Amino acid sequence: MYLGRIVAIGLTKEGNASAMYRVSSRSFPNREAIKTSQGIAIVPKAGFEGDLRKNPYIAYNCLRTAGKYVLTSNGSQTDPIIEKIAMGMPLRDAFAMGLLAMDYEKDQLDTPRIVAAIGNGDTTGYLGIVRKNALLVREFQLQPGQLFYISTYECNFPCDCFTDDKFSATDAAEACQYVINGGVFEEFTNPVTAACAVWKNGELDIATLDA
């Protein structure tokens, strides 16, 4: 099944908060996740910079942090939402305001914008989406070894049905591998790259992995 981009929040079996992002793409597979001074960004691979002239939405910050919170998303909404969180706005309100302001992407597919966030030491996190026909934000209660996800296509609303209770990653590198081809994600086609973060002993571990 093709889901497009995917964001997820979860707790490792040790109870550590994790936020994950996966690019799945049929049209622009020549991209990678790179670490930056702000977090992690999705960019075209060397030699494919011209893809930006075909679609300006394919490069963006996909993972940023503010205080105890780590956020993942599939577009330029990453920045205004995390900046609102940094100013003290609750996650629900920052999600709703940022997604409403940015709206869905005005490309040929009306691609939804999706976002996920969780805080260090928290057992709850948020998933949100703005589609052409809806704006949805929801809090999720998490158990160790469990994650919830949302995607741009098919699984494009936050609900209890899009979950995996066998989340086995212990660090960010393993979380990247998991979201590429582990657990429920193994069923989803066209993986390109992943960016993940896991809080461990109060420190944020981040990693990237190309499929």
pLDDT of residue 155: 97
Q: Beta-strand (E) ranges in the chain?
A: 6-11, 17-24, 31-35, 39-44, 60-66, 69-73, 113-119, 124-131, 134-141, 146-151, 163-164, 191-200, 203-210
55: helix, coil or strand?
A: coil
Please answer whether residues 183 and 165 qualify as being in contact, where contact means their C-beta atoms are separated by less than 8 angstroms. no
Residue 45: which residues within 8 A CB-CB, separation 6 or more? 30, 31, 32
pLDDT by residue, tens only, the chain of 211 residues: 999 999 999 999 999 999 999 999 999 999 999 999 999 999 999 999 999 999 999 999 999 999 999 999 999 999 999 999 999 999 999 999 999 999 999 998 999 999 999 999 999 999 999 999 999 999 999 999 999 999 999 999 999 999 999 999 999 999 999 999 999 999 999 999 999 999 998 899 999 999 9
**Three-class secondary structure assignment of 120-173:** CCCCEEEEEEEECCEEEEEEEECCCCEEEEEECCCCCCCCCCCEECCCCCCCHH
pLDDT of residue 63: 98
Q: How far apart are alpha carbons 43 and 158 in whole angstroms?
A: 27
User: Which domains are delineated in the chain?
Assistant: 6-210 (3.60.20.20)
Angle at 74 between CA 82 and CA 208, to 5 degrees: 90
19: helix, coil or strand?
A: strand
pLDDT of residue 122: 97
pTM for the whole thing?
0.97
Q: How far apart are alpha carbons 184 and 118 in whole angstroms?
A: 20
Please answer whether residues 160 and 142 qualify as being in contact, where contact means their C-beta atoms are separated by less than 8 angstroms. no
